Amino acid sequence: MGSAVQPITLTTDFGSTDHYVGVMKGVILRIAPTATIVDITHEIGAHNIVHGAFALRQILAWYPAGSVHVVVVDPGVGTDRRIIAGRYSGQIVIAPDNGLISVVHRELHLEEMYSVENTRYFAGPVSPTFHGRDILAPVAAHVASGVPLSHLGPPAGQIDILRFPVTQPIDSGGLRGCVVYVDHFGNLVTNISADEVGQLMRQRGELTIHVGDQPAGPLRRVYGEVPADEPLALIGSSGMMEVAVNCGRACDRFGAGPDTLVTLDAAER
């Protein structure tokens, strides 16, 4: 192996009150003592694979080529679901094969993908309930230290891809989408892209947004365009439309969460 160790990021639903993340870091540092470990978040909703998939997509473009991204949201831990390691546009992702790679797989160029099976790179006996410690963390440390992905196991072949809800046109000429996840601020992040919003605005002019049957007002550019505690919709940093409440929580205001319907239509005149 070469002396350089690539950065390793960790994204999990483990939270911050238990020891799980700290143990994973210890495993990594025993193998790669000079590794830079970056905590992306450990507050992915428990077992929320969709949230994890979107979070993973948001980080990849911002890290140096060759960085290793470990994602652990794994309700099927200990079953026959695989762990996979893939390289997308120069970035390496190691995750359970349960759909976590879906957004990255859809939007980035896949260069190689392997099923992680070579126990040489595991951390001793494998607990059926903590693959993050016993498989993903040590494999990430070895890969960051220079082990080729091809040494981890056979080519993965077909992987598990989530079937995300897609936006649909509505009879009035508008568009219907849904909430994908709720962020830390209570913002409702939808599956409606900036491109879809732009196209609809060109066709229909000013738009109004509803969360379920509740109005969320017109589209805005920034939060401060409405008074505190007032709702708005805008294009977030992810490139997707969000519904927010300035200095408040949209999830509480609208009683909304994942799968709640969101519609865009021409503003009433």
Taking only the tens of pLDDT, the chain with its 269 residues reads 446 899 999 999 999 999 999 999 999 999 999 999 999 999 998 999 999 999 999 999 899 999 999 999 999 999 999 999 999 999 999 999 999 999 999 999 999 999 999 999 999 899 999 999 999 999 999 999 999 999 999 999 999 999 888 899 998 889 999 999 899 899 999 999 999 999 999 888 888 899 999 999 889 999 999 999 999 999 998 889 999 999 999 999 999 999 999 999 887 64
- Burial per residue of 193-214, b for 16 or more beta-carbon CB atoms within 10 angstroms, e otherwise: beebbeebeeebeebbbbbeee
Q: What is the pLDDT of residue 4?
A: 86
Q: Which of 18, 153, 6 is nearest to 70 (CA)?
A: 6
Radius of gyration of the chain (CA): 21
Burial class (CB in 10 A: 0-12, 13-18, 19+), 11: buried
Asked whether the beta carbons of 261 and 178 are under 8 A apart, the reply is yes
Tokens of 39: 């905590």
- Burial per residue of 154-179, b for 16 or more beta-carbon CB atoms within 10 angstroms, e otherwise: eebeebbebeebebeeeeeebbbbbb
Q: Which region holds residue 239: left if phi is over 0, alpha if psi is between -120 and 50, else beta?
A: left
- DSSP assignment, residue 53? H
Tokens of 221: 């550019």
Q: Tokens 């709720």 label which residue?
A: 182
Distance between CA 203 and CA 255 in Å, rounded?
31
Asked whether the beta carbons of 95 and 37 are under 8 A apart, the reply is no
Q: What is the pLDDT of residue 48?
A: 92
Distance between CA 121 and CA 53 in Å, rounded?
25
Q: What is the pLDDT of residue 238?
A: 85
CA 64 and chain centroid, separation: 18
Asked whether the beta carbons of 33 and 62 are under 8 A apart, the reply is no
- Helical packing angle, 137-144 and 20-31, nearest 10°: 30
Q: Which of 196, 133, 132, 134 is nearest to 170 (CA)?
A: 196
Tokens of 228: 């505190």
Distance between CA 74 and CA 97 in Å, rounded?
9
- Give the domains, in start order, of the chain with CATH numbers: 8-151 (3.40.50.10790), 168-266 (2.40.30.90)
